Amino acid sequence: MSISRIAETIHASPTLALNEKAAMLRENGDPVIHLGGGEPKSKSPVDAILATTALLNSGEVRYTPADGVPALKKAVIRYTEEFYHRLVAPENVMASGGAKQAIMVALQTVLNPQEEVIYPAPYWVSYPDMTRLCGAVGVAVLPKDETFQPRLKDIESRVGSRTKAVIINSPNNPSGAMYSEEFIGDIVRFCEKRDLYLIMDDIYHRLVFDGKKWPNPFEYTTKPIDESKLIVVNGVSKQYAMTGFRIGWAVGARKLIDVMTNIQGHQTSGPSVVLQMAAVGAINGVQSCVESLRVTLENNRNVMLALLNTFEGVKVAKPDGTFYCFANFERYEKSSQKLAQFLIDKVQVLTVPGAEFGADGYLRLSFCGTIKEIQEGIQRIKWALDPNSPNELYIGNRKLVRDWT
């Protein structure tokens, strides 16, 4: 079968594939523990549900403008004012089918084939494939050390005549690192000076721990929004635990948002009105659910970190936010793919290999599940890897016997 050269380079999303694998194993009755997930387990906010059901009850479920319904734009404008201290106009906002679509459409809007996009590693799994979908080239910049803080000079050294954009995701998936105020200021100023687009993927910006302050990129722009190449992306998936609603948005210069809207209009039209209204409900509703999720995640992080620190030779930086620990398991196995497969096969714990994020030797371990899942998952990993483990492990009434060294 002949498919396009671009399509040939695109891989399946490894994290979505893992979700399917977990569901399949569970269906078979296997006692799987999914530490590979990327979604909080709390319930959708009641205000989101009420807004959704109100619309459904009206029976008037229609197309929306390609850039979103006015009520959602208004909610995003208020959100931008509250969290970014920047007043934007409806023409600066486009609602999308998740932050994922907002980023994809932004890349399609700014990239020509062969142009380059720079992003720090470890990076979110979708950036390389999204870039390839545009016929463009992704350039991953490795961090200097395991704090995973990128350095401006490393990014600067990779900027060439083909560089068009930089993507920054902080707090970062998979490392959990929140980039320093200094770095965010520097990268905003640098991109302005070099006339580069800067896509800020802020999807985890309210899930930050230890009382730390998340750096706001708008504080460092010198240009009015309509002359700026800063594009801020956000969404309801993580902060409101609304991954299945698929609503995200982009905020940027109106000329850019105009073109993004044209592209999205041909791709999917506006996102489902039902889901847009749910997002309006969440953004305008009672916000205690976000804080309660944040506190739960901070506690889960502490539990996972304490357990990981009992492993001999596993190195893990304390995540500042998100719901991931990115742990270096090289002492046990250099290939993260092999290690992740071993853990599924032997103890049925799902993890994401670091290689998917541009950092082999690591595993991404999610702490968005329950404390029980975290404890049992890490305990099983330890049993599988530690040669001094007892010979047997019981999972429920299943007995596992170590037949490896």
Ligand X SMILES: Cc1ncc(COP(=O)(O)O)c(C=O)c1O
Q: List interacting residues with ligand X (CB under 6 A).
A: 38, 98-100, 124, 169, 173, 201, 203, 235, 237, 243, 248
End-to-end CA distance of the chain: 44
38 or 285: whose CB is closer to ligand X?
A: 38
The Cα diameter of the chain in Å comes to 65
Name the pairing type of β-strands 163-169 and 116-120. Answer: parallel
Q: With respect to ligand X, which residue has the nearer C-beta, 206 or 346? A: 206
Nearer to ligand X, 84 or 332 (CB): 84
Q: How far is the CB of 220 from ligand X (least distance, A)?
A: 21
In the bound complex, which residue of the shown chain has the CB atom lying closest to ligand X?
Answer: 98
Q: How far is the CB of 269 from ligand X (least distance, A)?
A: 17
What span, in angstroms and rounded, lies between the C-alpha atoms of 174 and 361? 13
* Residue 240 beta carbon to ligand X: minimum distance, rounded to whole angstroms: 10
Cβ of residue 184: shortest distance to ligand X, in angstroms?
16
> Which is nearer to ligand X, 218 or 323 (by Cβ)?
323
Preceding amide of 45 cis, omega within 30 = no
Asked if residue 357 lies in contact with residue 340, where contact means CB atoms within 8 angstroms, the answer is: no
Nearest distance, CB of residue 243 and ligand X, angstroms: 5
DSSP one-letter code for 91: G
Beta carbons within 10 angstroms of residue 160's beta carbon: 9
Please report how many Cα atoms fall inside a 13 Å half-sphere around the Cα of residue 116, on the Cβ side: 12
State which amino acid sits at residue 20: E
Helix (H) or strand (E) holding 16: helix 14-27
Q: Do the beta carbons of residue 177 and residue 171 sit within 8 Å?
A: yes
C-beta closer to ligand X: residue 123 or 218:
123
The alpha carbon of 283 is separated from its chain's Cα centroid by a whole number of angstroms, namely 19
Closer residue to ligand X (CB): 243 or 267: 243
Taking the least distance from each CB to ligand X, the nearer of 17 and 400 is 17
Q: How many CB atoms lie within 10 A of CB 69?
A: 19
The least distance separating ligand X from the CB of residue 193, rounded to whole angstroms, comes to 26
Closer by beta carbon to ligand X, 130 or else 384: 130
In 3D space, the residue among 228, 164, 180, 232 whose CA is nearest the CA of residue 201 turns out to be 232
CB 131, CB 111: distance < 8 Å: yes
CB of 11 to ligand X, least distance (A): 16
**How far is residue 107's CA from residue 89's CA, in Å, rounded to a whole number?**
22
Of 100 and 382, CB closest to ligand X: 100
Question: Smallest distance, Å, CB 394 to ligand X?
Answer: 34
Minimum gap (Å) between residue 237 Cβ and ligand X: 3
Q: Where are the beta strands (DSSP E) in 212-361?
A: 230-235, 248-251, 315-316, 324-328, 349-350, 352-353
Instruction: Give, in degrees to the nearest 5, the angle at Cα 93 between 90 and 97.
Output: 135
